[in-house]
Structure 1
Amino acid sequence: MPYAHNGDISIYYEKYGPVDGPALIMIEGYTAQLVGWDKGFVQKLNDLGIQTILLDNRDVGLSSQTGTPDQTDKAYDITDMANDVLAVADAEKLKTFNIMGESMGGMITQEVLVDYPDRISSAVIMFTAPSWGKEWMSTADSAESGNNAGLDVASNRDQAIDLFVSREKACHVNSAYPFNEEKARQLGALTYDRCYRPDGWRRQQAATNSFSLDQNKLGKLTLPAAIIHGRRDPFFSPKAGIRISQLLRNSELHIYSGMAHEIPEPLWDEFAQIASRTIQRGESSRG
């Protein structure tokens, strides 16, 4: 099993697709393990010649836990998590790479762009915000009620899976795309069996809640980027995606009217094509 190391933090990751293809590091969102990237979507990217590198963020999955179960306060920030991504790139000896992040992973992606602009060829940023603030929330209470739905501590595996499904439903609320509860339940079982540490989620939450990007630095970047956001996202307003696109001057903006906080299967082909086109632009600009 491959691990990268950032100081005393170990980051587990997996690789898929052609070894000679452009590398795309994919960063999951708050509480999500790398298995949250649907294999079908990853395969779409691989079929387009992209090598995908999926990682477990710190405090989830097979990566390092940063505290004990009673330690749920802030232990690190998004900058530290961005450094974890660079550790994976360094472990793979990638001089430059492409990056994709969703939700909290989109925040980490932006931090990587700002901190390591010379290492990134292109970026795909999905349903996230340029900082943690009420101005970017879909509703006034998004940061509280929506962000914490389904994250109570379970007393057993079955309850944990039920709570996972409720969390997924909260992400899909008001979506125009059908919610596959059976698939969500299978993913909940898989994530529980890989690692069930709710205290790690709270440490991730503390890092996310303090996220404040240097937007001036983001606005100076000219690398190719694509921003994807759902108009029905229950957490982050489309205004957040629009703002990121305004800052990244060489970006495409894609707002989907029926999409919530999700990567709907009917849009997999379109998203994969967006990613491929953005990566091709990035690789071409590198010469």
Structure 2
Amino acid sequence: MQSVITSHGIKLSYQDRGDKAAPVIILIMGLGAQMTVWPDELYFGLVDKGFRVIRFDNRDVGQSSQLDEFGDPSLVKSWLSTRFPSRLKVPYLLEDMAGDVLALMSSLKIKKAHLVGASMGGMIGQIIAAQHKKRVLSLTSIMSSSSSPKISSTNMSVFLKLAKRPQPSAREAVIQYHMKMNRLIGSPKYPAKEQELRAQAKKNIERGYNPGGFKRQLAAITASGDRRKLAQKIKVPTLVIHGSADPVIPLSAGIETAKHIPKTKLKVVYGLGHDFPVPLMPKLAKWITKHALKSQEKSQKRAQEKSQEKLQKKALQKAKKKQAQAN
């Protein structure tokens, strides 16, 4: 893996594959999840379709900077702040994490990219698309939301079952915790096998496990508030993908996101939870590819039209100047 250091001193570990001259897709992962949660079947599937694809660890996860000096925010206070307005003091916001993506792009000399974000990553992608329009070619928001986190009986049940995260020293307990989490948030129609769950859990632990980082990212989500008004400023073509059986961020949140972002297409996947079942990855790769290529064509057409307008304007100015000289 490679890494860059941002101007704010944040180390970002990343993987960069594909032709350097090809259109760029940046994959932004969700809460507490490492970049390896993006299945290789999707990652390399997009590379095989002709894209330069970059996935990375967000701050406070995996092999990127771990900001343990900020301590562990209270998960209870974080969740309560979603229902009762309060000034929750947090180490950073989603806007800061959006800045990390832009810093990564600048370090790799990427002017524009297609953004694909999952869960929290979709929220980060929405912020970038709304506030930095010139850097984004298209947005794909997967299993995400444009509003403040909402507590329901379903996600509260999941939250309570996962609230106590074991310490890194208790290796087997950490493995069992990850397996339990992935069962709870997984897709009913595409259940993962026990050996697959265990292999993924061990892989995550070996790369980097930090329960404090998860808490700080969750605090960032809750403190960053509602994005529905911001979402209306997104002008790039947007694809929203959401599962019908998502127990963390319900389908209604995906529908609402599509409603608030102009030029949005919604894809509902029956039986999909809050994960990435391998059997679905060819379909997701196909959807993302089609969306990105169509957006690319529109962007190139607009650029050509602007170039033509400039040429016409320049020719008109030249003709006026010539006429003035003749008079």
Task: Please give the TM-score of this superposition, normalised by the length of structure 2.
Answer: 0.81
- Greater shift after overlay, 84-93 or 10-19? 10-19
1:50 equivalent in structure 2? 51
Identical amino acids, percent of aligned pairs: 28
Which of 101, 119, 125 is matched with 2:117 structurally? 101
CA distance in 2, matches of 1:195, 1:51: 26
1:265 has 2:287 as partner:
no
1:172 equivalent in structure 2? 186
- SS of 1:255's partner is strand
CA distance in 1, matches of 2:263, 2:117: 18
Flag as ranges the 4+ runs of structure 1 deviating above 4 A: none
CA distance in 1, matches of 2:16, 2:229: 33
Deviation at 1:97, TM superposition (A): 0.6
1:82 equivalent in structure 2? 98
CA distance in 2, matches of 1:217, 1:201: 25
2:29 equivalent in structure 1? 28
**In the alignment, residue 157 of structure 2 is paired with which amino acid?**
S
Q: 1:26 touches 1:52 (CA, 8 Å); kept in 2?
A: yes
1:200 has 2:201 as partner:
no
**In the alignment, residue 104 of structure 1 is paired with which amino acid?**
M
**In the alignment, residue 196 of structure 2 is paired with which amino acid?**
K
Q: 1:69 touches 1:197 (CA, 8 Å); kept in 2?
A: no
CA distance in 2, matches of 1:133, 1:36: 22
Which of 228, 234, 240 is matched with 2:247 structurally? 234
What runs of 5+ residues in structure 2 fail to find an aligned partner?
Answer: 75-89, 301-327
Deviation at 1:146, TM superposition (A): 1.8
2:317 equivalent in structure 1? none
Q: Give the RMSD, CA atoms, in angstroms.
A: 1.8
1:68 has 2:69 as partner:
yes
CA distance in 2, matches of 1:249, 1:167: 34
Which of 95, 112, 119 is matched with 2:135 structurally? 119
1:189 has 2:205 as partner:
no
Greater fraction of residues in helix: 2
Alignment length, in residue pairs?
282
Q: 2:63 touches 2:207 (CA, 8 Å); kept in 1?
A: yes
- Greater shift after overlay, 249-258 or 83-92? 249-258
2:306 equivalent in structure 1? none
- Greater shift after overlay, 189-198 or 49-58? 189-198
Q: 1:131 touches 1:211 (CA, 8 Å); kept in 2?
A: no
- SS of 2:147's partner is coil
Deviation at 1:234, TM superposition (A): 0.4
CA distance in 2, matches of 1:257, 1:283: 28
Deviation at 1:28, TM superposition (A): 0.8
CA distance in 2, matches of 1:254, 1:4: 36
Q: 1:228 touches 1:254 (CA, 8 Å); kept in 2?
A: yes
Q: 2:70 touches 2:91 (CA, 8 Å); kept in 1?
A: no
Q: Would the alpha carbon gap of residues 65 and 182 (structure 1) be closer, same or farther in structure 2, given more than 3 Å must change?
A: same
1:40 has 2:41 as partner:
yes
1:225 equivalent in structure 2? 238
**In the alignment, residue 272 of structure 1 is paired with which amino acid?**
A
Which of 162, 172, 185 is matched with 1:158 structurally? 172
1:11 equivalent in structure 2? 12
Deviation string 1:234-262 (CA, Å, 9 cap, x unpaired) is 01111111111112221210011211112
Q: Would the alpha carbon gap of residues 53 and 4 (structure 1) be closer, same or farther in structure 2, given more than 3 Å must change?
A: farther
Task: Please give the TM-score of this superposition, normalised by the length of structure 1.
Answer: 0.92
Deviation at 1:148, TM superposition (A): 5.6
CA distance in 1, matches of 2:141, 2:263: 13
